[in-house]
A = this chain, B = another copy of it.
C-alpha cells in the first residue's frame, strides 16, 4: 500500500490547480482512459468528477465517479483490483485524462485483464440484448 500512501507527488501540482484547469462536461465529469504501464493495454474508460480527480492524485490510486451509483468509486475497493497511478496526462482540450497505472489483478469485473476484450463479432454473437448494466468493481 506504499503507493497509496505516497500519492502522486510527482505531478508537481496542487490537485485543486489541476481541477481548476480541466473542462468538465455538463454533468461535471471528464472521461479517464486507464492504460497499463507495462503491457500498454488500454484497460478501461471511466469517469471522474472534480473530487475523483483530487482523490486520484492525492491517494495515488484511481478513484472514479460511478454514474450508476451516483457516488465516488475507489477502484478495487471491493475486488482488491486496485490501480496504482504511475503517470497522468491531460489532452489538448483539457477535457480528457490518460491515467497510466500498475493494475493489481484484472481491470474488468468479468475477470478479463482489460474491459476491451470483445471484438464486434463477439458482441453480436454472444450478447444479443447488447445493453449490459454498468458494473463497478
Contact indicator B23/A131 (Cβ below 8 Å): yes
Contact indicator B135/A92 (Cβ below 8 Å): yes
Contact indicator A119/B45 (Cβ below 8 Å): no
Contact indicator B120/A91 (Cβ below 8 Å): no
Contact indicator A92/B119 (Cβ below 8 Å): no
B residues in contact with A127, CB < 8 Å: 21, 94
User: In the complex, which of the residues A23, A90, A118 has the most CB atoms of chain B within 10 Å of its own CB atom?
Assistant: A90
Asked whether any CB of chain B lies closer than 8 Å to the CB of A33, the reply is: yes
In angstroms, how far is the closest chain B Cβ from the Cβ of A41?
8
Write the A85-118 contact mask toward B (1 if CB under 8 angstroms, else 0): 0011111111110100000000011101001111
B residues in contact with A98, CB < 8 Å: 42, 116
A95: nearest chain-B partner, CB-CB: B134
**With contact pairs A31-B31, A45-B31 given, residues A21 and B92 touching in the complex (Cβ less than 8 Å):** no
Which residues of chain A (118-137) have a CB below 8 Å from chain B? 118-124, 127-128, 130-135
Contact indicator A132/B31 (Cβ below 8 Å): no
- Give residues in A with beta carbon < 8 Å to B: 11-13, 17-18, 20-23, 31, 33, 35, 40, 42, 44-45, 57, 87-96, 98, 108-110, 112, 115-124, 127-128, 130-135
